[in-house]
Structure 1
């Protein structure tokens, strides 16, 4: 048997963190088993589904690197197939027409609640029977599935173990609305059957749907997939994850400067583990993943841990991979990487200091753009009269350099210290402010090497002019 999983989001909003984790788990299990992964867009909610949400889902999946083997399939393009199966169930008396209006059903529900009964649809209720018996062909009606009245629905969940629900607790759910459109629980079953889905990974909020769907699989004589229902993801305060906890949409994490590999690594550990290991390459995730290692307990989302992971991936990933995802942020911040050193070299130098790609882009700017002002606090502290002599001497030495290497620039700084008998800080910090515009950067000799000779000379001269103007204003 070829394992076949699916991710089946409803396009009523963006791809959120819980959905992204479900997609990741489904994708990993398929890859671990040498199987196939299907993407299906469940857009039967015609009022709430939007093309914008479809695009956001596809964009989020692509950004995470979760390639699908089949799809995307759209349920709205399969209505003829669903109606064919509905008609089959009607012909086999496994479904029936119900003419009861919403108002009548609300009235009956109110009576049940007043009598402290569990509100549920009952085809044998006198008022419903009367309406159905009086109806004529062509009157508006829904089609309901004839759910078994006795016995239980039992399945062995790969995460939660044995789950058993009495059929007495289930009513005859609607499988086609009065407008002719099929409903979610029915379409899912037909799709899984037609697409040969063997394993369904989804949130625990679907357990109630699963027991209803199993009865439909059985009525159709369709194979029942293996189910795995994942626990919820909570915020770090223990409440259900929501917008107030920060980013919820996957693409928000892109916008905030996270690498896909970092988010995937973080999401896989939100409920799944392999010993005490925290860092997983994509290959390790595929090779080690299993459904029975997913926890039944809810997981808490911790942004600090995600930031730590992101910093790790920025520091340790192939610079070409980081550069690929940094480009979006360079474009957002209007930085042209063609106007300076190779971006991969900047990433190697600056990346270790950055938790996000937003920071990395910001700290890359001075390699590609000149500036017309220094950071006021850094300039006030380090571009003073006492720095004029060291900067003058450094300028003459860098102008004379024919071989522009980090080692030679390091020697320039060292020679300035020796000739003027000053500590490294007396030239290092003024040089840093002069060359970068601020007081924070990696090793200044390495920064100067990447910034380039022409820019370094021009910026030191600008710093000397700043000092001269400062001294003139002080008189």
Structure 2
């Protein structure tokens, strides 16, 4: 059975880059009728916060990305310890004691010699007595996985055939000196024991994947299918890394972005398929194909979300937005005609308040000097209320007959006088909602 996972660290709020990974894994699982696991990677006790765990769940629920089960790495530390013991017994795990400064000097020396800056495995030559002395001086060392220096190859679901020479990669640190288990081994143990069949993540993990494949094989596991999606850039190709904090999902939600607008964009961005607004999750699932995504960096512009949000809102019935309409102050008896009028003229639901304020309080008229007599004559011809969808047509016909004005010269001055704006909703729909005019009628 197809099993995927989304494995965020609860050290902050999830952003659009995280969402891309979550959505791809979710769609793969749902399209195959499989399992989608939310795995909280909380092995860092200092930085992991329960408030972020709750926030991650809230953001995924807002988007409709419902998980089948939750796993927490902090509950599985004994499993990682067992895997570490197994690697030690196999001679594939060794303790190293270099300080960050020493490692940096080694890298610089290798680069100066034209060699790849990889760890030189000096720790393998330490005697037991030397190790004891270093522990006494520096505390416990880090634990590194000893790579087999051979080519590591796999067929990537997005990047195609990948081949990496393990000799060009440092033996990865799997456990820190303070005992903290790192992502590289924890992820391998979890993916193996949870039966994860497909792993989609960012292309910055390609080297991680190479080392993890060897760890999986050393522990006797089965490698999942890997796919590495491109990284997001800004609209001009600039790095997004420093801006991702402002692109947190909760910030987008606060700005009025609708879930289906965000999902529709992220499910196609970077693929050979055009971005099209989808009406529901089933459409996204049905049309998803990981093989249609490319390797090139993918431009993301947050402004692209707002036309999609507007288009999505236009498709919704009143029942789906009734709370927002009520929150804008619209009386229940006017909710239906108000939504019919406003839906084509909003970008986000926050815009509803402005339209209701116009309906309730009116606007400062925009009347050119040459139109003042015309407006006065037109207002005198306004029929008695109550107004309905026919009133605007009846009124403007009467004004046209009385004044001889027609076309833009007729309609634009009336719109500006009533709304203070040159453009907006259909006046036939807006006029019955203008409370000041209703009172005059």
TM-score (ref. length: structure 2):
0.85
Give 2:343's aligned residue. Answer: 351
Q: What aligned pairs does 1:64-463 form with structure 2 within 5 A after superposition? A: 64-71=63-70, 73-102=71-100, 104-106=102-104, 108-109=106-107, 111-113=109-111, 115-124=113-122, 131-132=130-131, 134=133, 140-241=139-240, 248-274=247-273, 278-281=276-279, 282-302=281-301, 305-321=304-320, 326=324, 335-338=328-331, 341-342=334-335, 345-367=337-359, 369-370=360-361, 374-375=363-364, 378-379=366-367, 384-394=372-382, 397-399=383-385, 401=386, 404-418=387-401, 422-423=405-406, 432=415, 436=419, 438-451=421-434, 455-458=436-439, 460=440
Distance 2:32 2:207 in 1: 28
SS of the residue aligned with 1:406? coil
SS of the residue aligned with 1:82? helix
**Residues 95, 145 of structure 1: 8 Å contact kept:** yes
**Residues 15, 245 of structure 2: 8 Å contact kept:** no
SS of the residue aligned with 2:177? coil
Distance 1:43 1:413 in 2: 67
Total equivalences in the alignment:
439
Distance 1:174 1:317, change over 3 A: same
**Residues 17, 250 of structure 1: 8 Å contact kept:** yes
Q: Deviations over 1:33-77 (max 9, x none)?
A: 111211122233444444454444333322222121222x33233
Distance 1:440 1:243, change over 3 A: farther
Q: Does 1:29 align with 2:28?
A: yes
SS of the residue aligned with 1:228? strand
Cα distance, 1:194 vs. partner? 2.6
Distance 1:103 1:415, change over 3 A: closer
**Residues 203, 232 of structure 1: 8 Å contact kept:** yes
Cα distance, 1:211 vs. partner? 0.8
Cα distance, 1:431 vs. partner? 5.5
Cα distance, 1:266 vs. partner? 1.4
Cα distance, 1:267 vs. partner? 1.5
Distance 1:361 1:40, change over 3 A: farther
CA RMSD of aligned residues (A): 3.5
Cα distance, 1:228 vs. partner? 0.6
**Residues 10, 41 of structure 2: 8 Å contact kept:** yes
Distance 1:88 1:253, change over 3 A: same
Cα distance, 1:182 vs. partner? 0.6
**Residues 201, 229 of structure 2: 8 Å contact kept:** yes
Cα distance, 1:192 vs. partner? 1.3
SS of the residue aligned with 2:60? helix
Distance 1:242 1:440, change over 3 A: farther
Structure 2: which 5+ runs fail to align? Answer: none
Distance 2:269 2:132 in 1: 53
Give 1:4's aligned residue. Answer: 3
Cα distance, 1:251 vs. partner? 2.9
Distance 1:137 1:87, change over 3 A: farther
**Residues 261, 277 of structure 2: 8 Å contact kept:** no
**Residues 142, 173 of structure 2: 8 Å contact kept:** yes
Distance 1:390 1:22 in 2: 59
Q: Deviations over 1:275-328 (max 9, x none)?
A: x6734443222112122122222222245654443333233344544556x56x
Distance 1:78 1:437, change over 3 A: farther
Q: Deviations over 1:162-202 (max 9, x none)?
A: 11222222333222222221111111112212322110111
Cα distance, 1:157 vs. partner? 0.6
TM-score (ref. length: structure 1):
0.79
Distance 1:365 1:142, change over 3 A: farther
**Residues 256, 357 of structure 1: 8 Å contact kept:** no
Q: Deviations over 1:359-399 (max 9, x none)?
A: 444334334x435xx336x25669835422321331xx224
